Amino acid sequence: MSQFHELSLSTGPAGLVFECADGCSRRMVVERQTGVLTIIDRGDPYAQHRGSHSDLSMSAPSVTGAGAHEGPAAR
């Protein structure tokens, strides 16, 4: 069974900064202009990280079988 860690949210010059509130040191930034997610510090690789604020939420990713998603590289 996976362990869940909660993320807290603050703002920074680059955008929204998510930090693990459970002490594993994971930090992520969502760029304000592009919405690109960048992981700054990995933290606990075995924990599932989640958090939300207002109309923004981060939850566990959904993984599907091979070939279910055709990205830009497949076109």
- The verdict on residue 22 lying in a domain is yes
- The verdict on residue 73 lying in a domain is no
Banded model confidence at residue 32, pLDDT cuts 50, 70, 90: confident
Q: What percent of the chain has pLDDT over 90?
A: 13
| Number of other CB atoms surrounding residue 6 within 10 Å | 12
Task: Give one word for 68, left, alpha or beta, with left for phi > 0 and alpha for psi -120 to 50.
Answer: alpha
- Whether the model clears a pTM of 0.85, i.e. scores above it, the answer is no
- In angstroms, rounded to a whole number, what is the distance separating the alpha carbons of residues 26 and 1? 20
- The verdict on residue 4 lying in a domain is yes
Supply the range of the domain harboring residue 24.
Answer: 1-50
Based on the structure, what is the number of domains in the chain? 1
Q: Dihedral through CA 40, CA 43, CA 44, CA 48, nearest 10?
A: -50
- The verdict on residue 70 lying in a domain is no
pLDDT tens by residue, 3-30: 889 888 888 888 889 999 888 999 989 8
Identity of the residue numbered 35: G
- The verdict on residue 71 lying in a domain is no
- The verdict on residue 16 lying in a domain is yes
Q: Tell how many helices (H) and how many strands (E) occur in the chain.
A: 0, 6
